[in-house]
Structures are given as C-alpha cells and as structure tokens.
Amino acid sequence: MNMNDTEQWISTGAAAHLLGVSRQHIVDMCADGRLNCVLVGTHRRVSASEIDERLAQQRKLSREETRSLLLGYAVAGHLVSDPHRVLNIAQHNLDAAQANISRGSTRRWIAAWRALLGSPLLELVEVLTSKSEQSCELRQNSPFAGVLTESERTAVLNNSRKNVSAA
C-alpha cells in the first residue's frame, strides 16, 4: 500500500493509544494483514481512517446520535434510489444556510458537506450510515432536510424511541 495525499497515516503508537491496545498488538495486526500499513523508513504507519472505522464499531451512540444515524439510513435509501433529487435538495439547503451565516463553525460544516456532495455516492452513503464521531457530527448539521416526508421522519423517530428504550 502506498501513501497518498488523500489518506492520513498515523504511528502504531498513536493507533494503539486510540484503540486502547498495546503498540505490539497493532504491529502484530499489521504483520498478519488485519490492519493495513505502510513503511516510512523502518517505521509502520497505519491508516487513520481505518482506525476511525474500528473506533466507530466500538463506539456507543447517544440517544440523539442513534436517532440521527437512523435518519441517515432513511436518507441514504432515498439517495441511492433518486440521487439527483436528494443532491438537489441538499445543495439548495446548503445555499440557503450559507446565505444566512456570516461566521462560525457553520461555515466548516457547509464546506465539508459541499465536498461530500461532490464525492462518489458510496462515500456519501458511508457518512450518512457510519457511527464514526466525524459522521455523527456531520449528521448533526445535515443538509438533507426535506428529503424525507413528515410521515417517514416520524416513523423513523418513533422506531428509534422503541429501539433506544429497548437497548
């Protein structure tokens, strides 16, 4: 695997710290192919996105994050069946949000969503359906208002209440 400009790579020690395991365990995972790595000189570097994915699998979601994840799945269903309509709604919502802000963190979210809307469909679906911290934050600032009908949104939220209370 080669290092490229779009992927971030971290040390085995940093990966171990993030996952709460020993550095040797990370080295062993690299050696037996369970974790992708590259060599920089004599040092291994592991994919930050792969570590994020593993963290997401371990992460327990809050009630609000669970709701936004389930809404993300519903939006993703519409996105794969009618991408043109869904992307147009999202672009319109981003344009409206940008017209109403002058500064602050909202600009960062708008820029992140604009970049994602121009990315391949599967990358966008991944953000909508991932438990990663970054995806949870992005979904809290979602440009997909209006994609789901009110009855679809209500059904998802009602089902999330049942599932959250049962968990």
Helices 23-31 and 12-19 pack at an angle, to 10 degrees, of 110
**Does one domain contain both 98 and 25?**
no
**Does one domain contain both 71 and 50?**
no
- DSSP summary character for residue 38: E
β strands within the chain, DSSP E: 9-11, 37-40, 43-47
- pLDDT on residue 121: 94
**Does one domain contain both 54 and 121?**
no
Last residue of a domain, one of 38, 58, 78: 58
- pLDDT on residue 102: 64
Last residue of a domain, one of 58, 81, 97: 58
Q: How far apart are CA 47 and CA 39, in angstroms?
A: 12
**Does one domain contain both 68 and 37?**
no
- pLDDT on residue 5: 55
Q: What does each of the 167 residues of the chain score in pLDDT, given as a tens digit? A: 454 556 789 999 999 888 888 899 999 999 999 999 999 999 999 999 899 888 877 778 888 989 999 999 999 999 999 999 999 999 999 999 989 876 777 888 899 999 999 999 999 998 999 887 788 889 999 999 999 999 999 999 998 887 654 44
Q: Answer yes or no: is 54 within a domain.
A: yes
**Does one domain contain both 33 and 106?**
no
Q: Answer yes or no: is 21 within a domain.
A: yes
- pLDDT on residue 165: 47
46: part of which helix (H) or strand (E)? strand 43-47
- DSSP summary character for residue 145: T
- DSSP summary character for residue 7: S
**Does one domain contain both 36 and 96?**
no
- pLDDT on residue 163: 62
Q: Answer yes or no: is 3 within a domain.
A: no
**Does one domain contain both 83 and 120?**
yes
Q: Report how many domains make up the chain.
A: 2
**Does one domain contain both 68 and 83?**
yes
Contact 17, 46 (CB under 8 A): no
**Does one domain contain both 53 and 80?**
no
Contact 75, 128 (CB under 8 A): yes
- pLDDT on residue 55: 82
- pLDDT on residue 58: 74
Residue 41 belongs to domain spanning: 9-58
**Does one domain contain both 34 and 69?**
no
